[in-house]
Amino acid sequence: MEISKIKAVAELRKELFLAKEVRDRLYEAFQNEHIKEFESVTTIGAELANAESAVRAEAIEEYKLCPSNKTPGPGITIKIFDILEYEPGKALTWAIEHKVALKLDTPTFEKIAKVSPLDFVGIGQEPRCQIATDLSKALEDL
């Protein structure tokens, strides 16, 4: 084996380590210099999450009052998703008997239960609210 190749790897590893140290110092300095901007992203992100949650909750409440209205506001859509309702213990017993989904592998079990009805699994529906990614289009004419 050529020692020069091994030395080249060792040298490149050293250079990479030093380059990463420089990059990390520069990034830390940048973050410190722009701490207000970084904090602003975190704060606004939390405010947005709260505002979206409030809009979703209100939209679901409006949908519950009037199930035919699946667009309670501009850019707001109610979609209905099937959800399986079952006792995990009964599901595990079934899984053991059928030698599948023995962990209980919930996603696998639910896929099977959707296409092959089981007496201990009910299928309910759950409305979920989606907010358009680009609300400017939905709000254009308002």
The pTM of the whole model exceeds 0.75:
no
For 81, counting Cβ atoms within 10 Å of its Cβ (0-12 exposed, 13-18 middle, 19+ buried), the class is exposed
- Quote the pLDDT of residue 14: 92
Cβ-based neighbours of 92, under 8 Å, separated by 6 or more: 102, 104
pLDDT tens-digit series, residues 43-93: 999 999 999 999 999 999 999 999 999 999 999 999 999 999 999 999 989
